[in-house]
Structure 1
Amino acid sequence: ERKVELLMDEIGFLKKLHEEELRDLEVSAPSPAGLAEVEVCKPELTAALREIRTQYESIAVKNLQEAEEWYKSKIQSLTCEVDGLKGVVRAGEPRGGCREQTPPRPYAAPLPPQNEALQRQMREMEDEFGEEIGSYQDVVGRLEQEIQQMKEEMARHLREYQDLLNVKMALDIEIATYRKLLEGEESR
């Protein structure tokens, strides 16, 4: 659950960062035509962010289910171990008042191997979750890289659009000039 919360917080942070950078791009655009390009790119970017969010949510749900399954299996295995230890302890308990009580030391003997097994299991889990965290960090890094590439591509498209708009405006001016010339010729 903590991982899911961290991932959701990171998604929120990346969205805010992206929106700020979009605002910076809009402010730095020299003409109102740049705003139209940003508006055109917003649906694509929104769709990409929505897709990333659904991927994160599906990963989070999957991890939550895996964690619940793992938790249930560990509880079940520990319950079985406790029941087994209870059986060992009961087998060694004196039955009746005539017997002399034995010291608890012989029954403590199985605990060190169990302790070692639990410590080994704990180390394995730390390694497993360390690898999982590493894989999530790789995913986050890859997604950040994709976001950066999308930003660069969006900026490139914005520049291309502005260049095309400038060419269009120059052509419109030239067409208007030719029209005036033609109208002048027709009026003579």
Structure 2
Amino acid sequence: MHLVPGLKVLYFGTPVVLVSTLNPDGTANLAPMSSAWWLGQSAMLGMGDNSQTAANLQRHGECVLNLPSSAMVDAVDRIALTTGKSEITGYKLAQGYRHVADKFALAGLTAQESDLVAPPRAQECPIQLECTVTRATPFGGPEVSAHGYEVRVLRAHVEEEYLIPGTAYVDPLRWDPLIMKFCDFFGGGINVYPSRLAEGWALPRIGALQ
């Protein structure tokens, strides 16, 4: 029997992406997000307007989409509930957000120079996609507080061990992306780490349901 529970969260399962962008002072910002999908050589990123990443994308128009494996979940979670903005809105304060200027350092990741764009790559991420923003479209309503950013992938960097030998294809048996499903971290189909983001959104804890 189907129920109509009035779902508050619709994150049924999408890959986690660490988006690196440039701040106005030229320093790098790194932000985890999971509203991303790909088609051909383009991707669509969905994010709220009240973030440093959104401001950087609209101002500078370049980014790197760093895809962590499920084994990197601890690095991703270290920068959850952080923001590159020095002024934090009330609702983010209530969720537990704090300002962090150097999120590469907090995550324990290494900034690596990109080939075609100014924002750096995250060296430890097995897949890194250098991108340029081609379009920003208001999303949601009736009061718009988010945008969808269409980005064009200019260059993809992939660790050799994740490629099918002799081809330009990623081996799906070797590549285990970190997935965010209803604000919890999953890899290989199992819950791999307790999520600070889920705590910030006051979602039911998985352990409490088992």
TM-score normalised to the size of structure 2? Answer: 0.22
Q: Which has the higher strand share?
A: 2
Query: Which of the pair has the greater relative contact order for Cα pairs under 8 Å at 6+ separation?
Result: 1
Q: Which has the higher helix share?
A: 1
TM-score normalised to the size of structure 1? Answer: 0.24
